Amino acid sequence: MFDNLSDKLDKAFHILKGHGKITEVNVAETLKEVRRALLDADVNFKIAKDFTTKVKEKAIGQNVLTTLQPGQLLVKIVKDELTELMGGDVAGINLSGNPTVILMSGLQGSGKTTFSGKLANYLQTKKNKKPLLVACDIYRPAAIQQLYVVGDSIAVEVYSEPENKNPVEIAQNAIKHAKANGFNVVIVDTAGRLAVDEAMMTEISNVHKAIQPHETLFVVDSMTGQDAVNTAKAFNDRLNFDGVILTKLDGDTRGGAAISIKSVVNKPIKFVGTGEKMDAIDVFYPSRMAERILG
């Protein structure tokens, strides 16, 4: 799907570049191709339409047709607009607070536990922090076990209370434990379900209210297309989260999720997951993502 998008745009721009003199019809046709490619990559229809309208206005405003290399200018406009659509600049992570409390949210299978480990590893090795991982999944003992495996692999301590069925208490006790033991970042991994449901939302809202995290991050599988947007909206309505983590960008992924999520919830994408290993984490660069989408 991802290749599909860049391939299509390549083709469209190739057609455009092939014409000695570019006419308004050529531009309109290329933009139609851009829009179709965005739709194919699962970008929401309205967003894709608005996008091409904006690009067209810019192209007219900059007199694309009268310039020496109209194709290149149009490509630049499309790239710049895509970058803007995905947030423009790199969004940092708020590491204020001692400890900094980070709450992870998202559906089961989105990559929350894996990302919690990656973030702990990143903060430990790149930002000289002492993180504590917290297992707040009270339903699946295997999820707690998984966090221990992750923690072990990066030499980060994991806090859990397997007998306690109250995630609010577990999270609060973990923060106390962190304060008492010199941890300066607390990463709280929460229980996700396979689909959005009220019980999960109430539970994570309660944890959120009780611990007032410095950063609430929403983790989403970039392979889930339009569903990713609906899930992001549901979590944002309840948590008003601070940023998005786009996982599984190493797969047959669609750039569309990045574009649509940012447009719909207007929250920055902060990191991306690019594999199962603990070092497969990257800061999200909107411009690089635009380049990647366009090929």
Contacts of 134 (CB under 8 A, 6+ apart): 158, 159, 160, 170, 171, 174, 186, 187, 188, 189
Residue type, 14: H
- State the CB neighbour count (10 A cutoff) for residue 275: 15
Site for ligand GDP in 184-213 (CB under 6 A): 192
From CA 3, how far away is CA 254, in angstroms rounded?
9
* Residue number, 26 or 116, with CB nearest to ligand GDP: 116
Is 274 an interacting residue with respect to ligand GDP (CB under 6 A)? Answer: yes
Applying CB under 6 A, among 88, 109, 182, 295 the residue interacting with ligand GDP is 109
Is 280 an interacting residue with respect to ligand GDP (CB under 6 A)? Answer: yes
Tell whether 108 is in a known binding site: yes
Binding segment toward ligand GDP, per CB under 6 A, in 49-57, 58-66, 202-210, 245-253? 245-253
Task: Classify strands 185-189 and 158-159 as parallel, antiparallel or unpaired.
Answer: unpaired
Tell whether 191 is in a known binding site: yes
From CA 195, how far away is CA 228, in angstroms rounded?
11
From CA 47, how far away is CA 52, in angstroms rounded?
9
The pair of structure tokens assigned to 10 is: 């390549």
Tell whether 106 is in a known binding site: yes
Applying CB under 6 A, among 67, 108, 145, 205 the residue interacting with ligand GDP is 108
* Residue number, 184 or 231, with CB nearest to ligand GDP: 231
Is 254 an interacting residue with respect to ligand GDP (CB under 6 A)? Answer: no
Annotated binding-site ranges for GTP: 106-113, 189-193, 247-250
| Interface residues toward ligand GDP, by CB under 6 A | 106, 108-114, 192, 247-248, 250-251, 273-276, 280
